[in-house]
């Protein structure tokens, strides 16, 4: 590996606790994903950085949509890229790097979900214990709906949750969800159906979601 | 997908995307990734302590970075970032935690009421002194790394590992539980020192040689190293043979199984041990863990019994407050009283924000509009950006005679 970029090394010292926005270095000519993968496998750190710059926002979005607003996103983004950049030689289709990284992100999110269940004592929203709020007949803002949504998603098995999140929150096509989860289309449909049933039933009792979904009449995602 | 589902999905996705600080977060992640892939592979890239610390760091917008030379560090809390120059003592308040995040990725998570300081920083690591309490340590594995953790008269030398370290100066009790890697410990009763590897636990009592463990060995040794789970891969020559406890073939305890998340098996093992014995004689931590096991193995009544046992047997303790919160979360007619009890016992506890939000919700649900408004005012004063802030604002803005249902305009 080559040393860190000069622009990083030349940064002035910062105070402890200070938030630092690092400069994002751009390549002079845009390389394809395939070219970047090839270069990164050879040990070109600039190419590795470019892969990060190009795909990290999407990876972060996938993680956020599966894990919710309280996910340890920075750590998980790091996990995804440390794993991916070390295993780039295993990418079968370098030009489909984005889809492969989405798959790695989904795998990482699944691990995080399973790890979370072991530390439920310190979580704020215990899935099965949250008392239902009574209906107050008023609209709730999106942040409440978001909390309510992830409170329900926390009850789902990891695979169902992931499929539902990618379809419902990320808007992926069914084939994309199947590819990201590395399962067949039929399996994804089964998972979505189960997840939807659970979500629909729970949403019907949650004032933050009930009115938004009209769950008694509408078809699901 | 039908239109209401699509619309809600888009709204929620937008809400998720509005989280501030993404650019800075990704910049930090990129720096860490490039630093990490330049190193040889390590066994555990991220551990829960690091994740917890990073989550807290993100929540308060704390950043850090290596500056060359010595490692640097920042202390992050659930409240505000604290800059702590080397040598300053960190006193962790009751009901809170402190995470010390080092620039090269290592983390020390200090439990409530602990007292510790980073007594020295070097290019290859740091020295951390734990005066009392518990530290959950994750040291990044790097070539040449050198870390030292001082607890009373004991010195734990580390290159890259995860472990929990306890030092109780009043009882002169030293506890070390290894999760990953290996450490070298020197101190009283340890002769030339002892090497511990993943899966082992060391207990040393300096006061009277007693070991407060389940071991019934007689005479009791003053120091004991035992494997944690039965599947421990600890090499047989990792510790001085004179101090190795004869429990290598012991089956995993319910605690071991619970720690692995195997709650059903943990419950079976606990029942074999005797639930009455656990409820009547277990420590507060054991009871909380057992309540966890009971809940996740589908026995909420038993979980409640364990939590009530914490409250009756350990009144006034941090665990009793936590038990109150957990009892509140379990719902039922007493939920409100338990959340209020938590707030009374741990007003600045790490769950105070959530407890107050729950109190507000339950007051509103119970028709106590005036009480809910008062709680909402207190909530907004303390947690203006909290997850219940929208509800609190609506409650505060509602007319006094508007009834509990009229909350959101």
Quick: pLDDT tens for B227-249: 443 333 333 333 332 233 333 34
Task: Give pLDDT, residue A205.
Answer: 78
Residue owning tokens 């699944």: A110
Q: Do B45 and A133 touch (CB under 8 A)?
A: no
By Cβ distance, the residue of A1, A21, A68 closest to B37 is: A1
By Cβ distance, the residue of B2, B33, B261 closest to A78 is: B33
Task: Give pLDDT, residue B108.
Answer: 85
Task: Give pLDDT, residue B289.
Answer: 80
Among all residues of chain A, which has the CA nearest to that of B36?
A82
Segment holding A141, helix H or strand E: none
Task: Give pLDDT, residue B341.
Answer: 92
Candidates A21, A51, A82, partner chain B, best to mutate (most B CBs within 10 A) = A82
C-alpha separations of B342 from A102, B323, B349, B380 in Å: 42, 8, 8, 19
Segment holding B127, helix H or strand E: strand B125-139
Candidates A49, A74, A125, partner chain B, best to mutate (most B CBs within 10 A) = A74
Contacts of A138 in chain B (CB under 8 A): 394, 406-409
* B27 compared with B57, residue with greater pLDDT: B27
Rounded to an integer, what distance in angstroms lies between the CA atom of residue B176 and that of residue B225?
9
B250 touches chain A (CB under 8 A): no
Question: Which two three-digit tokens encode residue B47?
Answer: 């551990």
Task: Give pLDDT, residue B110.
Answer: 84
Tally C-beta pairs within 8 A across A and B.
Answer: 225
Candidates B11, B33, B141, partner chain A, best to mutate (most A CBs within 10 A) = B33
Question: Which two three-digit tokens encode residue B332?
Answer: 């039922």
Task: Give pLDDT, residue A103.
Answer: 92
Contacts of B335 in chain A (CB under 8 A): 131
Question: Which two three-digit tokens encode residue A202?
Answer: 């729970």
Q: How far apart are the first and last CA of chain B?
A: 30
Q: Could you tell me the pLDDT band of residue B266, with boundaries at 50, 70 and 90?
A: confident
By Cβ distance, the residue of B13, B28, B51 closest to A72 is: B51
Q: Do B10 and A171 touch (CB under 8 A)?
A: yes
Residue owning tokens 């009890």: B341
Q: Do A137 and B405 touch (CB under 8 A)?
A: yes
* B77 compared with B156, residue with greater pLDDT: B156
Q: Give the lowest-confidence range in B21-25, B45-49, B255-259.
A: B45-49
Contacts of B351 in chain A (CB under 8 A): 124
Contacts of B38 in chain A (CB under 8 A): 1, 45
Task: Give pLDDT, residue B146.
Answer: 82
Q: Do B19 and A69 touch (CB under 8 A)?
A: yes
Rounded to an integer, what distance in angstroms lies between the CA atom of residue B378 and that of residue B149?
41
> Please, what is the angle between helix B335-345 and helix B352-365, to 10°?
150
What radius of gyration do chain B's Cα atoms show?
Answer: 24
By Cβ distance, the residue of A48, A138, A220 closest to B37 is: A48
Mean pLDDT over each residue of chain B, to the nearest integer: 72
Q: Which residues 25-84 of chain A have a CB within 8 Å of chain B?
A: 45, 48-49, 52-53, 56-57, 60-61, 64-65, 68-79, 81-83
Task: Give pLDDT, residue A221.
Answer: 56
Q: Could you tell me the pLDDT band of residue B389, with boundaries at 50, 70 and 90?
A: confident
Buried b (16+ CB within 10 A) or exposed e, B175-190: bbbbbbbbbbbebebb
C-beta of residue B135 within 8 angstroms of C-beta of residue B118: no
C-beta of residue B30 within 8 angstroms of C-beta of residue B24: no
Show pLDDT as tens, one digit a residue, over chain A (221 residues).
Answer: 333 333 333 334 434 434 444 444 444 457 889 889 988 888 888 899 999 999 999 999 999 999 887 556 888 898 899 989 988 887 888 888 999 999 999 999 988 887 765 444 333 333 333 333 333 333 346 667 887 888 888 888 889 999 999 999 988 999 999 989 988 989 999 999 999 888 888 888 777 787 777 644 445 55
Smallest Cα distance from A164 to chain B, Å:
11
DSSP B121: E
């Amino acid at each position: 590996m080559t040393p860190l970029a000069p622009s990083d090394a030349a940064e002035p010292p910062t105070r402890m606790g200070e938030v630092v926005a690092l400069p994002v270095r751009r390549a002079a000519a845009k390389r394809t994903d395939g070219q970047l993968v090839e270069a990164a496998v050879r040990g070109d750190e600039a190419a590795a950085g470019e892969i990060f710059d190009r795909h990290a926002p999407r990876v972060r979005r996938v993680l956020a949509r599966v894990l919710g607003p309280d996910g340890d996103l920075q750590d998980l983004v790091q996990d995804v890229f440390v794993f991916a950049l070390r295993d780039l030689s295993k990418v079968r289709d370098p030009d489909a790097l984005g889809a492969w990284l989405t798959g790695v992100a989904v795998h990482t999110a699944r691990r995080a979900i399973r790890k979370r269940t072991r530390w439920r004592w310190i979580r704020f929203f215990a899935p099965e214990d949250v008392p239902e709020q009574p209906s107050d007949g008023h609209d709730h803002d999106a942040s409440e709906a978001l909390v309510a949504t992830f409170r329900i998603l926390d009850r789902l098995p990891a695979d169902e949750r992931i499929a539902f999140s990618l379809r419902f929150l990320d808007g992926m096509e069914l084939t994309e969800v199947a590819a990201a989860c590395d399962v067949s289309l039929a399996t994804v449909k089964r998972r979505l159906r189960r997840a939807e049933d659970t979500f629909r039933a729970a949403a019907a009792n949650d004032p933050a979601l009930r009115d938004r979904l009209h769950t008694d009449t509408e078809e699901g995602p | 997908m039908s239109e209401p589902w699509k619309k809600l999905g888009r709204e929620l996705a937008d809400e998720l995307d509005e989280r501030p600080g993404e650019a800075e977060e990704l910049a930090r992640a990129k720096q860490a990734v490039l630093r990490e892939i330049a190193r040889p592979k390590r066994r555990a890239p991220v551990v829960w302590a690091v994740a917890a610390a990073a989550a807290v760091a993100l929540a308060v917008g704390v950043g850090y970075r290596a500056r060359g030379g010595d490692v640097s560090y920042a202390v992050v809390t659930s409240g505000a970032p604290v800059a702590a120059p080397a040598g300053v003592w960190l006193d962790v308040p009751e009901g809170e935690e402190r995470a010390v995040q080092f620039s090269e990725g290592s983390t020390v998570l200090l439990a409530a009421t602990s007292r510790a300081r980073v007594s020295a920083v070097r290019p290859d690591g740091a020295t951390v002194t734990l005066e009392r309490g518990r530290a959950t340590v994750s040291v990044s594995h790097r070539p040449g790394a050198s870390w030292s953790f001082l607890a009373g008269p004991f010195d734990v030398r580390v290159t890259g590992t995860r472990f929990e370290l306890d030092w109780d100066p009043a009882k002169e009790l030293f506890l070390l539980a290894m999760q990953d890697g290996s450490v070298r410990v020197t101190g009283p009763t340890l002769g030339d020192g002892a090497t511990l590897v993943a899966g082992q636990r060391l207990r040393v009592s300096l006061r009277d040689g007693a070991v407060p463990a389940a071991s019934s060995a007689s005479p009791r040794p003053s120091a004991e190293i035992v494997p944690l789970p039965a599947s421990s891969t600890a090499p047989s020559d990792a510790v001085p043979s004179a101090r190795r406890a004869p429990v290598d073939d012991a089956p995993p305890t319910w605690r071991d199984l619970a720690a692995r998340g195997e709650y059903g098996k943990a419950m079976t093992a606990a029942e074999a041990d005797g639930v009455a014995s656990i409820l009547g004689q277990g420590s507060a931590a054991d009871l909380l863990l057992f309540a966890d096991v009971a809940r996740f193995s589908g026995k909420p009544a038993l979980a409640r019994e364990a939590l009530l046992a914490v409250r009756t047997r350990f009144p006034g303790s941090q665990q009793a407050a936590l038990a109150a919160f957990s009892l509140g979360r379990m719902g039922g007619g007493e939920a409100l009283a338990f959340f209020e009890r938590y707030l009374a016992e741990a007003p600045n506890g790490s769950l105070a924000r959530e407890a107050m939000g729950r109190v507000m919700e339950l007051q509103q649900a119970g028709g106590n509009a005036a009480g809910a408004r008062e709680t909402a005012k207190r909530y907004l004063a303390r947690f203006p950006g909290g997850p219940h802030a929208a509800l609190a604002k609506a409650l505060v803005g509602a007319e006094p005679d508007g009834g509990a249902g009229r909350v959101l305009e």
